[in-house]
Chains A and B, each alone.
Chain A
Amino acid sequence: MNHTSWVQVFIRILPFHAGLSSRLRRHLEQCPECRGRMADIREARAATVSTHDLGMVRDFWPRFAQGLDRPLSGAYSRPKPGLIWALGTAGLLALAIIGVFLFIPSAPTAILSSGVKLRINYVRMYEEPAQAFIFHTQDADSTFVWVERPKPGEVL
């Protein structure tokens, strides 16, 4: 009803509300555009459910009060799902890091130091007799063979 600006001007200027409403009513009865729009609204109202059609609506308060998991005061709000996910992921990551440190196999040096050390003397290196050591670890099924040239002056 934007085209009825002169009617709105009248409404503001004239002090007699009864007269104004009858003028407006007359316009609504005569103007085909407004009549069509009013008919549209009436049809839409008839097709949709209004608060009047519902009658007495159930009081949601009792169930609402039950739905609150703890007494609230002020602007309480539950943590948002994004925050929950972020915290959960951070927790899992921390657990994974701790797990890696707890269950990582110990360093080879530690294994070697804890293992049994044997020595054999019949290995040759560059056509010369060499020292050979065999390390057998205690907690793993691994055997390391270490061969080195004899130090100067050392007799095998």
Chain B
Amino acid sequence: MTDNELVRSCLKGNMESYRTLMDRYRGQAMALALNILANFQDAEDACQEVFLKTFQNLGGFDLERSFKNWFYALLSHHCLDQIRKRKRFYRFISRIQSRDRMAAAVPVASTPGLQHDLEPRLLSRLRPRERTAIYLWSQEGYSGAEIAAVLGCSEKTAHVHLFRARTRLRAILKEEKRESH
């Protein structure tokens, strides 16, 4: 069954269809959320909330569109919102704590369950939108237009995000190679 057939079935009241959709996308959802948020617990919470939000808004989903893109758009916006909230919180905390103590308190990437460690140094040096763009491009094979649909921006802007992410990533890797030699 295709995604949209499952959505149609779910709209008729078949909850098992939504369970199938969740099983189909939970891995990819976690990977995307983890790439944006760089924190395992936050990524799990984000996925949980977005699966619920998606279900509650299924009635408004246009069955002519791609479910995957729509779901990714909801998820990435939720994650970007979380980062904004987190920044506000850290700004508040940093007023109270000293900068050094703060750095020790902020979890960059605690990722239990990962088979290989997430590269926090690499990811943290990219902006959240750039991280989203580069994940969708490299792992999902998304084109500029599809990335734009997920990020809710123009295709040109999506290309700019992707270009900056690739350039920055290349520079970081080069720098790291130089340091290791």
Instruction: Indicate whether A63 reaches chain B with its CB closer than 8 angstroms.
Output: yes
B137: nearest chain-A partner, CB-CB: A44
**Docked pose: A49 CA to B48 CA in angstroms:** 19
Instruction: Indicate whether A64 reaches chain B with its CB closer than 8 angstroms.
Output: yes
Q: Check if A49 sits within 8 Å of B118, measured CB to CB.
A: yes
Q: Check if B115 sits within 8 Å of A77, measured CB to CB.
A: no
Instruction: Indicate whether A48 reaches chain B with its CB closer than 8 angstroms.
Output: yes
Q: Check if B58 sits within 8 Å of A77, measured CB to CB.
A: yes
Enumerate chain A residues within 8 angstroms of B31, measured Cβ to Cβ: 48-51, 53-54
With contacts A48-B139, A60-B47 taken as known, whether A54 is within 8 angstroms of B59 at the C-beta atoms is: no
Enumerate chain A residues within 8 angstroms of B13, measured Cβ to Cβ: 72-74
Binary flags per residue of A38-50, CB closer than 8 Å to B gives 1, else 0: 0011011111111
Q: Check if A54 sits within 8 Å of B114, measured CB to CB.
A: yes
Binary flags per residue of B109-120, CB closer than 8 Å to A gives 1, else 0: 001011110110
Q: Check if B139 sits within 8 Å of A72, measured CB to CB.
A: no
- Chain-A contact segment, one of B22-30, B98-106, B149-157: B22-30
Enumerate chain B residues within 8 angstroms of A60, measured Cβ to Cβ: 22, 26, 47-48, 51
Enumerate chain A residues within 8 angstroms of B23, measured Cβ to Cβ: 59
Chain B interfacial residues counted at CB < 8 A: 45
Q: Check if A76 sits within 8 Å of B59, measured CB to CB.
A: yes
Instruction: Indicate whether A17 reaches chain B with its CB closer than 8 angstroms.
Output: no
- B126 nearest CB across to chain A (Å): 9
**Docked pose: A44 CA to B134 CA in angstroms:** 7
**Docked pose: A116 CA to B152 CA in angstroms:** 74
**Docked pose: A17 CA to B139 CA in angstroms:** 25
B interface residue numbers (CB < 8 A to A): 11-13, 15, 19, 22-23, 26-28, 30-31, 34-35, 44, 47-48, 51-52, 55-60, 111, 113-116, 118-119, 122-123, 131, 134-135, 137-139, 165-166, 169-170, 173
Give 28 A-B contacts (CB < 8 Å), ordered by A residue.
A44-B137, A44-B138, A45-B138, A46-B119, A47-B123, A47-B134, A47-B173, A49-B31, A49-B114, A49-B135, A51-B30, A53-B31, A53-B114, A53-B115, A54-B34, A54-B115, A55-B114, A56-B113, A60-B26, A60-B48, A63-B48, A64-B48, A64-B51, A68-B55, A72-B13, A74-B12, A74-B59, A77-B60
**A47-B173, A49-B34, A59-B26 known; 4 other A-B pairs, CB under 8 Å?**
A43-B173, A45-B138, A60-B22, A72-B15
